[in-house]
Chains A and B, each alone.
Chain A
């Protein structure tokens, strides 16, 4: 039978995940060029970035924090997300696994050049920080009239 809650990793999912991380380390995420500010897979917090013509949306996957625990800054197009997550175990417990990130974190990413650093909004919900940065007017598509 499978191991107990107190046993070792032996299920397919963790082995597969481990293998995937190894492969990513060897070959890179896509085989292409690695972003100069990109980080190793599994770095806390995970980030997704999407863009439309009007705004750039950044999703920071950081569970278990409060909204006040994030420090955000946007300098030109460089977005920095910093904070600290402190996990304290109750005293006297026996610990089996400590996989969750514990400590200070900081990630910096370059957004498209045309973002407006004065028009930023951030909301924290269900452990995801959602940052919306508006893009400058001039890049928004304009209808070109044909005369």
Chain B
């Protein structure tokens, strides 16, 4: 380990602004086998999407292009970022290696299976 710190050059205001992340809206629901996460990522193609898993942290990151061609001026903008980021911490009963992702019309569907041996079983209550 080195004690020296690398001093990062100060970012220009424009760079900071361009890196502001948008928070995508999600729906999350669970059934007996999976947890399903649906996220709205309008403007993102399959190629612009990255889903990363670091330990139990799932990061959804996606680039979108809101830049107008140079000859155009912006009259109005609700969306001013150029990427979406959202993180979730998963819990240990989920099969993180078997996550299935699908992108359609800017809508991401993530299916996170639960470990088979941990899927809910009916607990019988015996009379005492």
A residues near B, CB below 8 A? 1-7, 11, 13-14, 17, 35, 41, 43, 45-53, 56-57, 59, 61-66, 87, 89-90, 92-101, 109, 112, 124, 126-128
Cβ A128 vs Cβ B106 within 8 A: yes
B31, A93: Cβ atoms under 8 Å?
yes
Count contacts between A and B, CB distance < 8 Å.
Answer: 140
Interface residues of B (CB under 8 A from A): 21, 23, 25-31, 35-38, 40-45, 57, 66, 68-69, 71-79, 85-91, 94, 104-107
In-complex Cβ contact of B105 among A6, A13, A94, A126 (8 A): A126
Chain B residues within 8 Å of A94, by CB: 29-31
Q: Quick check: B66 and A48 within 8 Å, CB to CB?
A: yes
Main secondary structure of the interface of B (DSSP, over half): strand
Question: Is the CB–CB distance between B69 and A52 below 8 Å?
Answer: yes
Q: Please indicate which of the listed interface residues A46, A99, A126 has the most CB atoms of chain B within 10 Å of its own CB.
A: A126
For residue A98, which residue of chain B has the nearest CB? B27
The answer to whether A6 and B91 have CB atoms under 8 Å apart is yes
Given contacts A2-B57, A126-B43, contact A47 B78 (CB under 8 A): yes
Other A-B contacts than A13-B86, A46-B79, 13 sampled, CB-CB below 8 A, are: A6-B30, A13-B23, A13-B87, A50-B69, A59-B66, A61-B106, A63-B40, A63-B106, A64-B104, A94-B31, A96-B30, A97-B28, A99-B27
Q: Which residue of chain B is the closest to A63 with respect to CB atoms?
A: B106
The secondary-structure label for the interface of chain A is: loop
Interface pairs (24), CB distance under 8 Å: A2-B89, A3-B89, A5-B35, A5-B89, A6-B30, A6-B91, A11-B87, A14-B23, A48-B77, A52-B71, A52-B73, A53-B71, A61-B78, A61-B79, A90-B31, A93-B31, A95-B28, A96-B29, A99-B25, A99-B26, A101-B25, A126-B43, A126-B105, A127-B106
Query: Which are the 4 A-B pairs with shortest beta-carbon distances?
Result: A127-B106, A63-B106, A127-B42, A46-B78
Question: Which chain A residues border B88 with CB–CB below 8 Å?
Answer: 5
